[in-house]
A and B are shown apart, each in its own frame.
Chain A
Amino acid sequence: MKRAALIAIALLLLLVPLLHLAFPPGHALHLSEFYVGLLGKFLCFAICALALDLIWGFGGILSLGHGLFFALGGYGMGMYLMRQIGREGQYQSDLPDFMVFLNWKALPWHWALSDSLVGQIFLALAVPGLLAAVFGWFAFRSRIQGVYFSIITQALTVAAMLLFFRNETGFGGNNGFTDFKRIAGMPLNTPGMKVGLCIASGVALIGCYLVARWLTQSRWGRILQAIRDAEGRVRFLGYDPVAFKLSAYVISALMCALAGMLYVPQVGIINPGEMSPAASIEMAIWAAVGGRGTLIGPVLGAFFVNGTKSVFTAVWPEGWLYVLGGLFIVVTLFLPAGLVGLARRFGK
Chain B
Amino acid sequence: MTPELMEAGAEARARSFTRVVTDDGPVFNQGVALYVEDLKVAFDGFQALGGLSFTVGVGELRCVIGPNGAGKTTTMDCITGKTRPDSGRIFFGSNLNLRTMNEQQIARAGIGRKFQKPTVFEALTVAENLELAMAGDRRARVAMRARLSGEQQDRMTELLHTVHLADERQRVAGLLSHGQKQWLEIGMLLAQEPKLLLLDEPVAGMTDEETERTAELFLSLEGKHSLVVVEHDMSFVATLAGAQRTVTVLHEGQTLAEGTMAQVQSDEKVIEVYLGR
Which residues from chain A sit less than 8 Å from chain B, CB to CB?
Answer: 215, 218-220, 222-223, 225-226, 228-230, 232-240, 243-244, 246-247
Of the A-B pairs whose beta carbons lie under 8 Å apart in the complex, a sample of 30, sorted by A's number, is A215-B144, A218-B143, A218-B144, A218-B145, A219-B131, A219-B144, A219-B146, A220-B140, A220-B143, A220-B144, A222-B121, A222-B128, A222-B132, A225-B123, A225-B124, A226-B121, A229-B121, A230-B121, A233-B119, A233-B120, A234-B132, A235-B107, A236-B107, A236-B113, A237-B133, A238-B107, A238-B108, A239-B138, A240-B138, A246-B140
Cα distance, A293 to B237, chains bound together (Å): 44
Q: Could you list which residues of chain B lie within 8 angstroms of chain A, going by C-beta atoms?
A: 80, 82, 103-104, 107-108, 112-113, 115, 119-124, 128, 131-133, 138-141, 143-146, 188, 192
Which residues of chain B have C-beta atoms less than 8 A from A247's C-beta?
140-141
Residues on B with C-beta less than 8 A from A244 are 140, 143
A229–B118 Cα gap in the complex (Å)?
A: 13
Nearest Cβ distance between residue A78 and chain B, in whole angstroms? 33
For A58, the closest partner residue in chain B by CB is B123
- CA distance in complex: A229, B113 (Å): 18
Q: Tell me if B139 and A229 are in contact (CB < 8 A).
A: no
Q: Chain B contacts of A220 at CB under 8 A? A: 140, 143-144, 146
**Is the beta-carbon distance between B123 and A229 smaller than 8 angstroms?**
yes
Hey, which chain A residues are within 8 Å of B144, CB to CB? Answer: 215, 218-220
CB neighbours of B146 from chain A (8 A): 218-220
B residues near A215, Cβ cutoff 8 Å: 144
Which of B103, B112, B119, B131 lies in contact with A222, CB distance below 8 A?
B131
A8 to chain B, nearest CB (A): 28
CA distance A228 to B121 in the complex (A): 9
B192: nearest chain-A partner, CB-CB: A237
Q: Are B121 and A219 in contact (CB under 8 A)?
A: no
Please, which residues of chain B bring their CB within 8 A of the CB of A239?
A: 104, 132, 138
A residues less than 8 Å from B124 (CB atoms): 222, 225-226
Tell me the bound Cα distance from A233 to B192 in angstroms: 13
Task: Contacts A230-B121, A236-B80 given; indicate if A219 touches B107 (C-beta within 8 A).
Answer: no
Residues of B within 8 A of A219 (CB): 131-132, 143-144, 146
Q: How far is the CB of B107 from chain A (nearest CB, A)?
A: 4
B121 touches A243 (CB 8 A): no
Q: Which one, A225, A235, A240, A246, contacts B121 given CB within 8 A? A: A225
Closest residue of chain A to B191 (Cβ to Cβ) is A237
Contacting pair A235 B143 (CB below 8 A): no
A54 to chain B, nearest CB (A): 13
One of A225, A229, A236, A246 near B103 (C-beta < 8 A): A236
